[in-house]
């Protein structure tokens, strides 16, 4: 099957080419993201493969449909960037990667937590300049601290288990309780308990209308002073302006994120020689107690292998009129 792959990168192409040895599809790589300006590039391609910041709104889907696209293959878990209702009306199937490596994202969240708590980023910059002063680098023991895991799916459960290994008290929050989370001997937070007890809040929930800006001015006011906030899920879970105010006031002790609400204009490209005009982002990274990585939590050999293999397997199933195990539909 002919597949147009948008927002492709050199490292992804190696894994896709390897996975395609078994699938034998005709892959066409585009560096550009999918949007209204680039949709014409998919002319004649039955399947379009997209990533987290590609646009799959109704207008783009209509353009793709006109040009022969019948399948959207997301090489990621989240699907908030695709209008599923519009896809259904057009008869376009949508598949995603349900499971790849929950360890990759959970472990990166732990890395961010350790780095922001122990000021690893500041120490690294100091020692490169020959500054070995320890002033301002005091952190705290994770052992005995309370960690709130918001979103207790596979990734949240892996993170919770790691935090147990550090000797933390772990509580969960999720409208859909997980037996796997409870099997770890953990309990879900009661009303107000996260704000009162959590020294660390880690987000692992999908971006939906219900979770959009789940971290906002009101929830931050209820947070324990000095709490650390970790987000490796979707940028839209956080109201960035509200977080900036909480950082300025000292209410929030630190922020470590791998995602950003307006990341589509920044991430996955080299802007080191350009002026970044996103004032909110520039304010955010100006804080010494903020760490930002560019959506790399999933970036492990194991995760990339599974993502590419699963994506191409779904395309093969569609081509052969087989059931689509990873299909996602409008609610």
Give per-residue pLDDT as tens, 194-252: 999 999 999 999 999 999 999 999 999 999 999 999 999 999 999 999 999 999 999 99
2-100+300-319 against 102-292: fold identical? yes
Q: Residues with Cβ < 8 Å from 307, sequence gap 6 or more? A: 15, 75, 76, 97, 100, 298
- CATH 3.90.79.10 assigned to 102-292: no
The pLDDT value given to residue 52: 92
Catalytic residue among 75, 96, 108, 295: 295
Categorize the per-residue pLDDT at 16 as very low, low, confident or very high, splitting at 50, 70 and 90. very high
Domain locations in the chain?
2-100+300-319, 102-292
The pLDDT value given to residue 252: 97
The pLDDT value given to residue 14: 96
How many C-beta atoms surround the C-beta of residue 15 within 10 A?
Answer: 20
Categorize the per-residue pLDDT at 66 as very low, low, confident or very high, splitting at 50, 70 and 90. very high
Q: Catalytic residue at 263? A: yes
The pLDDT value given to residue 328: 96
The pLDDT value given to residue 171: 98
pLDDT of 78 strictly over 90: no
Q: For residue range 150-207, list pLDDT tens digits in order.
A: 999 999 999 999 999 999 999 999 999 999 999 999 999 998 899 999 999 999 999 9
- Residues of the chain with pLDDT > 90, as a percent, come to 95
Categorize the per-residue pLDDT at 331 as very low, low, confident or very high, splitting at 50, 70 and 90. confident
Catalytic residue among 12, 75, 234, 313: 234
Q: Which residue has the tokens 């790849």?
A: 100
Q: Catalytic residue at 234? A: yes
Share the mean pLDDT of the chain.
96
The CATH superfamily holding the domain 2-100+300-319 is NAD(P)-binding Rossmann-like Domain (3.40.50.720)
Catalytic residue among 63, 263, 309, 313: 263
Question: CB burial class (10 A; 0-12, 13-18, 19+) of residue 6?
Answer: buried
Q: Which helix (H) or strand (E) holds 20?
A: helix 10-23
Q: Catalytic residue at 14? A: no
């Amino acid at each position: 099957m002919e597949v147009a792959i948008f927002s492709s990168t050199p490292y992804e192409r190696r894994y896709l080419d390897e996975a395609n040895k078994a699938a034998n599809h005709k892959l066409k790589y585009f560096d550009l993201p999918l949007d209204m300006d680039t949709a014409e590039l998919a002319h004649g391609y039955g399947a379009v493969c997209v990533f987290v910041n590609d646009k799959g709104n109704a207008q783009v889907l209509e353009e793709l449909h006109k040009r022969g696209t019948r399948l959207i293959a997301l090489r990621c878990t989240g699907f908030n960037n695709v209008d599923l209702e519009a896809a259904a009306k057009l008869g376009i199937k949508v598949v995603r990667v349900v499971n790849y490596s929950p360890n990759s994202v959970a472990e990166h969240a732990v890395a961010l937590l350790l780095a922001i708590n122990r000021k690893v980023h500041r120490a690294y910059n100091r020692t490169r300049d020959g500054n070995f002063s320890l002033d301002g680098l005091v952190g705290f023991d994770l052992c005995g601290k309370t960690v709130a895991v918001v979103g207790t799916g596979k990734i949240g459960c892996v993170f919770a288990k790691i935090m147990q290994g550090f000797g933390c008290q772990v509580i969960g929050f999720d409208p859909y309780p997980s037996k796997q989370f409870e099997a770890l001997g953990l309990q879900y937070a009661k009303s107000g308990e996260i704000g009162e007890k959590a020294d660390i809040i880690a987000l692992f929930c999908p971006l939906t209308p219900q979770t959009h800006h789940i971290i906002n001015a009101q929830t931050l006011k209820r947070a324990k002073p000095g709490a650390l906030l970790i987000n490796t899920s979707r940028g839209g879970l956080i109201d960035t302006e509200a977080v900036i105010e909480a950082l300025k006031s000292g209410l929030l002790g630190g922020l470590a994120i791998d995602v950003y609400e307006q990341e589509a204009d920044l991430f996955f490209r080299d802007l080191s020689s350009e002026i970044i005009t996103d004032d909110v982002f520039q304010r955010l990274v100006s804080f010494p107690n903020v760490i930002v990585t560019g959506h790399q939590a999933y970036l492990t050999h194991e995760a990339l292998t599974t993502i590419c293999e699963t994506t191409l397997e779904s395309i093969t199933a569609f081509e052969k009129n087989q059931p689509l195990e990873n299909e996602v539909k409008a609610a």
